[in-house]
Structure 1
Amino acid sequence: MILFLCFSLCKSQLHPIPAKIDGFVYKKPIVWGESVVVEAFLDPVCSDSRDSWLPLKQAFDYYSGQLSLVVHPVPMPYHSNSFTACRSLHIANKLNSSSFYPLLELFFETQEKYYSAPTYGLSRAIIVADMTKLALTVVGESFSTAFQSGFNDSSTDRAARISFKVRII
């Protein structure tokens, strides 16, 4: 028992337990115990995530009174720009909480330009600037400086990392 407790404490130091439930609720608050909670783990630069999003929304609309939907942005390691896109989603949500889903859908619409091959010769700074420009069309141009500063904010970095790490434990 003591060994288990020590292991648990050590593991929690490596992967901190989030202070609140991770993820972004779609359209309405979760009604715990009164609806089925569907959790979707989506990568904004993944074509499979993009292709599953419309059917997921249709199922949510069809069963609207019985479902709650929570989306977790998960940067898959084999999509080169996924972490930056997920971080953009966290920054957008921090600045304007109603912008998360419009930005997620905008990433799905334009994700081909962030695939590995088209961005192979681009620096991270150029990709961040491009994603910022894209995000500002949803978040609002007045948030330009704050959005750019969000990439220097350790809390958005941590949010994107924890969202991924908690899912792989």
Structure 2
Amino acid sequence: MAAMQGLLDKQAITDQLMRYSRAMDRRDWDLVRQVYWPDAADDHMHYQGDLAGFLEHAKNFLVDMPTVHFLGNVLVDLESDTLAFAETYYLAYHDLPGESGRQDLILWGRYLDTLEKRNGDWRISARTLALDAYTLTAGTSSWENGMFSAIKTRGGAKPDDPLYRLHPRGGRA
């Protein structure tokens, strides 16, 4: 029975990590709050502090910047029934606004997370972003008149992203 609970806990943790990617890419700040504990700490390279400050930082940093966060290897170590550590590889694409045009920033690294289970709910209590590599190049996307300018399913922020129209529960986690 303990082995089964361990698997359920690992899946719940993995789901939270995936929700983080959705939340950031869709600018779903309420969902970010559901992934972290209110008293969580975040070391996000250019920001170190609490959850409220991280949300403010992210909102300001991501203005006019579409992103895609892809998670790869996820290794969850259950330290106890209520404490876990996860190392999650990420690939994060950022379409940066620039003074001389758009730029493509791609980050490769790992999220190093401490997670706590409180009242049956796993959430991040501390996160450190490890950056292993990055590339920064001139942007090549042309949304105004490029080959994808007329598509109706372009990703975007909540509530305009197709997820919130197509998901049976309106994209709620």
TM-score for the superposition, normalised by structure 2: 0.26
Structure richer in helix, relative to its length:
1
Structure richer in strand, relative to its length:
2
Higher relative contact order (CA 8 A, sep 6+): 1
